[in-house]
Amino acid sequence: MNDIQVRLCGKLEEFHLDVDFTIPSKGVTALFGQSGCGKTTVLRCLAGLHHMKDGELQVFGQVWQDQTQFIPAHKRAIGYVFQDANLFDHLSVKGNLLFGRKRVKQSDGLDFDEVVELLGLKDLLNRNPSTLSGGERQRVAIGRALLNAPKMLLMDEPLSALDRFSKDEIIPYLEKLNDVLDIPVIFISHDTDEVERLADHLVLMEKGCVRASGPLLDMLADPTLFIAKSAKTASVIEATIEGFDEEDQLSQLDLNGASLLVPGRVGDVGEKRRVRIAATDVSLALEEPSKTTILNVLQAKICDIHAIDEARINIVLCLGEGSKGRLIARITKRSLNSFGFEVGQSVYAQVKGVSMVERRRAG
C-alpha cells in the first residue's frame, strides 16, 4: 500500500496530539486549521524532527516509525521548507541551491537547470540572498529542497510571512509543482484562498485532532465541517472549458453536466480549470426566473441543509441531471422558513458571481 499513513498520539511539552489519517502518495495535501492546532507538530513528526513515542508512520509502503523502530530525519529523504527561508547569506543564490547536492546521486530527482527553470531563478543565481524579496527567498528555499532529491516535500506555511505582493509572485510557481513533481507535497496553511488554489487533498485539524480528511473538492462541499462556517465559505468545482462566445466575450464551462458562463477568455477549449463560487453569491428560487440580469441560473436539487448558527443556513445543491457538481448557498433562517426549502426539492440556483481559481492543469 503506497498511501501515507499517519497515527500519532501523545504530548510534546504541553501540547497533546491525537491524529490518525491517510493521505495520497501523489499530489498536494494541505494541513489546514487555526494557529496552534498541531499542524506544524504533525509535519515535524513526518520529517523526523520530532519523535512521538506512541506513533506509527508508513510512507510508500515503508515503516518510518512504529513501536520498534524510528528512522531518523537524515535517512527519510525529506525536503523541508520553513516559514522563514533560512538561506545562507554568505553564499550566492546558486551556492544555496547547490548546498547539499553533492550528497545526492546526480540521476536522482530534478537537475539544477530544471529547478532553475521551474522556479524562475535564472536571473537570481549570482545575487546575495539579502537582496531578494520574500517571495524570491522562498523560491530559492524550495529549489534547494528539490535539489536534494526528496521523496516528499514538506512546507510549513511557506506563504505566511509574505505580504500580498510576494504571495501573488510565488503562488504561480507553487501551482506548477503538482504538474512537474512525481512526489507528494504536504503544506501547512490557515488561509482558504491558498488551499483552494494549491491543494488536491485536505486534512482539517482542530485542537490537536484531525476532524476530517479527504479530496479537497468533496471537503469544501461538506456543510458539517468547520471550514463551511467561515464567512469566506465557497464551492470550488473542477470545470472544463467548452467554448467561447466571440460576440459576448463569454467562456462556457462544463461542471460535470451543468453549464456556466464566465466573462472573458479563461483558457483553451478542453482545458480544466477550477471555479470558485462564494456561498453568499448564490440565491435560490422555486421557479425559473424569467427576467434577470444574472447570467447563470442553474437547475439544482437540495441534497443537504445545515444550520451554521441561529440565523444562517448552508444549503448544499446537486447541480443538474447527472451532474456530480455540488454548490453551497448561504441563506437566512427566515428565507428557509418562508420558502419551505427541504431536502430533495428542485430549485433554481442564481449565481451572482464566479471567480476563476488561477490554477492551470494539463487537460
Give 10-residue mean pLDDT values along the chain (363 residues).
88 88 94 92 94 91 93 92 90 91 67 92 95 92 92 92 85 85 92 90 95 92 82 88 95 88 92 91 93 92 93 90 78 96 95 78 37
Asked if residue 170 is part of any domain, the answer here is: yes
- Joined together, the cell numbers standing for residue 64 give 518510518
Residue 196 has φ and ψ, to the nearest 5°, of -60, -35
Dist. CA 151–CA 156, nearest whole Å: 17
Query: In the chain, helix, strand, coil percent, each to 5?
Result: 25, 35, 40
Asked if residue 288 is part of any domain, the answer here is: yes
Last residue within a domain, chosen from 193, 222, 251: 222
Judgement on whether residues 204 and 272 belong to the same structural domain of the protein: no
pLDDT of residue 108: 64
Asked if residue 33 is part of any domain, the answer here is: yes
Judgement on whether residues 267 and 342 belong to the same structural domain of the protein: yes
Judgement on whether residues 146 and 261 belong to the same structural domain of the protein: no
Q: What is the CATH number of the domain that holds 24?
A: 3.40.50.300
Structural domains counted in the chain: 2
- Domain of 13 in residue numbering reads as 4-222
Q: What is the CATH number of the domain that holds 260?
A: 2.40.50.100
Three-state SS for 124? helix
Judgement on whether residues 311 and 206 belong to the same structural domain of the protein: no
Asked if residue 87 is part of any domain, the answer here is: yes
Query: Where do the H-state alpha helices sit in the chain?
Result: 39-47, 93-98, 112-119, 134-146, 164-180, 192-198, 216-220, 333-339
Asked if residue 82 is part of any domain, the answer here is: yes
Asked if residue 166 is part of any domain, the answer here is: yes
Asked if residue 228 is part of any domain, the answer here is: no
Three-state SS for 96? helix
Asked if residue 121 is part of any domain, the answer here is: yes
> Which residue, 184, 179, 187, 122, is CA-closest to 155?
187
